[in-house]
Chain A
């Protein structure tokens, strides 16, 4: 049985804005195991990005716990959190993902460089991963010379290359057309499963859920529904799920 890579316990995050308090995340708990691909869905403002920021150690929760590979984020200092981000977490962002002055290959290799692990084997692996994502011809292209979908795929390679425990993707399909969006998420799912990582994809597009193992649905900061049954997930993705 696969181990728990990420665990969230009773997570709460409140923001104070002009005297009113907003419960952006309101008592959320769940676990994600290695080799599991999970979607965090919900309407705009439901707290998805806030959740992701907390899981990525970019934002401190008001209360509750986040454990990555069994390590409690709250017990770390800032230096340790920076280290955790580069060693244990892989990231893709909605846009502006890549370092604009590095080529596709250099962007992926940079993740290894950051970890002081760029050796021959690493370079080979990085090229293989890019090839796997259909970017063999784009190794030497700068981000500005690539399409949105290509950039997202480079970002996915960067998020996986250093074998992180957890891969976090914020709206990876937001700037892509439907066909490309499906392709990107499908490849993403394959790589998560193959490499035995814990993957969490944030999206407001329910159709993307057909490739995941579990759907966590949020509303007003709360986890309102968890869909685990493959049939129900497919119905959710096709908009035919009732109840």
Chain B
């Protein structure tokens, strides 16, 4: 304990009396922090934009068409599959999900969206924040997600016009917004939800698609009575319902096109930035320790133990790193306030917290060599360097 107080005393005095020098390193650490947090936020933002809807599903299993390799767009299920799934013992509920991309054109700037067909109050339809669900049948009603609301000034009660290319012609449809759900980005786009029959009518389709008028759901979201029975229920569903394959939510997310590759790239960038941070901090403290050899020699010669000298170096690095990360996180917070919603950066994710934890760790890690060096300086240096 006495050693700890002595070490803290030395560390703090040195930082205070060399404010300029230490502030400079702290600022470098702050910039690295900004960079790392931006990358973390980008990772979080991109990942959300791609998987948010699937990750939020109130379901544990997803049913795909057999041999579709868990690709949502490649999977086309028979219309009555959802009914068969619901009859399987252990299934609490199941809802068919239909996916497509369209545009809202009744805006100053057309907005590309995901138009998802879902069944009101079934898995696949997110809980309402405001308004009501669309009615069934071919009701020309839609529920928008929060990202549509944030990027436009659309409100409940507004009418929107959708453009959809069918065969060789552009068709236009009008929908009334009746409800609002939380952020449900899918495939990097904001989302509107419509009833299945409306979806079938409005979705962009090729010439051949035009001849059939039964909606084909892409996937079915399955909510289990006992969410812990995922593995067993997956097998049971595949066994009892023909022509399907079943995946859990995580597998489904990892098979969203580009998801895994993109997250890998972002993570690599983050790791490299952290490595640069380690090198910068390591380099600074190593140079500093080399300049401090006589001073550390004197400290040891007059009776300071290796423990005090080493601990003081550690405390100093932690102080400087913490100040740097603090400044960086503060700067980041200011930046995040001024960001428009279209930029896929999310600072409140778990990733930002992990990044901050890692950043606090890189100081002592980068400074390790210099700490060992400090401990090994011989007190005789006080006399011999003269």
| A-to-B contact residues, CB < 8 Å | 49, 52-53, 56, 58-59, 79, 82-87, 89, 91, 93-102, 106, 111, 113-116, 142, 158, 170-171, 174
Query: Which of B2, B6, B298, B379 touches A97 (beta carbons < 8 Å)?
Result: B298
Give every chain B residue within 8 A of A84 (Cβ-Cβ).
303
Q: Given A56-B301, A114-B302, A114-B303: A95 and B383 within 8 A (CB)?
A: no
Bound form: Cα–Cα A101–B298 in Å: 13
A52 to chain B, nearest CB (A): 7
Query: Which of B10, B301, B384, B385 touches A85 (beta carbons < 8 Å)?
Result: B301
Bound form: Cα–Cα A170–B380 in Å: 12
CB within 8 Å of A: which B288-315 residues: 294-295, 297-305
Query: Which of B13, B302, B380 touches A91 (beta carbons < 8 Å)?
Result: B302
Bound form: Cα–Cα A121–B300 in Å: 25
On whether the beta carbons of B386 and A53 are closer than 8 Å, the reply is no
Bound form: Cα–Cα A82–B309 in Å: 13
| B-to-A contact residues, CB < 8 Å | 2, 6, 9-10, 13-14, 16-18, 294-295, 297-305, 378-380, 382-386
Query: Which of B2, B16, B380, B386 touches A94 (beta carbons < 8 Å)?
Result: B386
B-side binding surface: helix, strand, loop or mixed?
helix
On whether the beta carbons of B14 and A86 are closer than 8 Å, the reply is no
Give every chain B residue within 8 A of A53 (Cβ-Cβ).
380, 383
Q: Given A53-B380, A101-B17, A116-B2: A86 and B304 within 8 A (CB)?
A: yes
Q: Given A99-B295, A113-B9: A58 and B380 within 8 A (CB)?
A: yes
Give every chain A residue within 8 A of B6 (Cβ-Cβ).
113-114
On whether the beta carbons of B383 and A49 are closer than 8 Å, the reply is yes
Q: Given A49-B383, A93-B386, A94-B386: A99 and B303 within 8 A (CB)?
A: no
On whether the beta carbons of A86 and B302 are closer than 8 Å, the reply is yes
Q: Given A87-B303, A102-B13, A106-B13: A52 and B383 within 8 A (CB)?
A: yes
Give every chain A residue within 8 A of B13 (Cβ-Cβ).
101-102, 106
Query: Can you report 23 residue pairs joining A to B where beta carbons are below 8 Å apart?
Result: A52-B383, A56-B301, A58-B301, A58-B378, A58-B380, A82-B300, A82-B305, A83-B303, A85-B302, A85-B379, A86-B304, A91-B301, A91-B302, A93-B386, A96-B295, A97-B298, A98-B298, A99-B10, A101-B14, A101-B16, A101-B17, A106-B13, A111-B302
Give every chain A residue within 8 A of B300 (Cβ-Cβ).
82
